[in-house]
Amino acid sequence: MDDWFDTDAAANAAFWSGRARLAAAADAATPRAGRTVEVVSGRNVPIGTVAVVGWFGTNRWGSRVGLILDGVDGLTFTNASNVRVVDGAVAA
């Protein structure tokens, strides 16, 4: 009986640790305030622009990000689907 429990516990731990890794990877790929992103589509911000996210939220158009761009006062907004996270670490 102990062998079954140990095997089941090991399988359960492997399952949940795998889910934790997937959840961590998904979170790292989500644009959040302070993360560096690259614009990959859209029309408001030139494609290829690298910027820091100053705001992330949801409004009636869906998930949006406010980008801090050099030479622009305030934030420039675009859909969150228009950017991909370059660096999951939060910028200082």
Q: Are residues 20 and 43 in the same domain?
A: no
Q: Are residues 19 and 45 in the same domain?
A: no
Q: What is the mean pLDDT of the chain?
A: 84
Give the single-character DSSP code of 43.
S
Contacts of 26 (CB under 8 A, 6+ apart): none
Q: Are residues 35 and 64 in the same domain?
A: yes
- pLDDT at residue 7 in the model: 64
Look up the domain containing 85 and give its range: 31-92
pLDDT tens-digit series, residues 42-84: 998 999 999 999 999 998 989 999 999 999 999 999 999 999 9
- pLDDT at residue 1 in the model: 46
Q: Are residues 42 and 58 in the same domain?
A: yes
User: Judging by DSSP bridges, how do beta strands 83-90 and 76-79 pair with one another?
Assistant: unpaired
Based on the structure, what is the number of domains in the chain?
2
Q: Are residues 52 and 10 in the same domain?
A: no
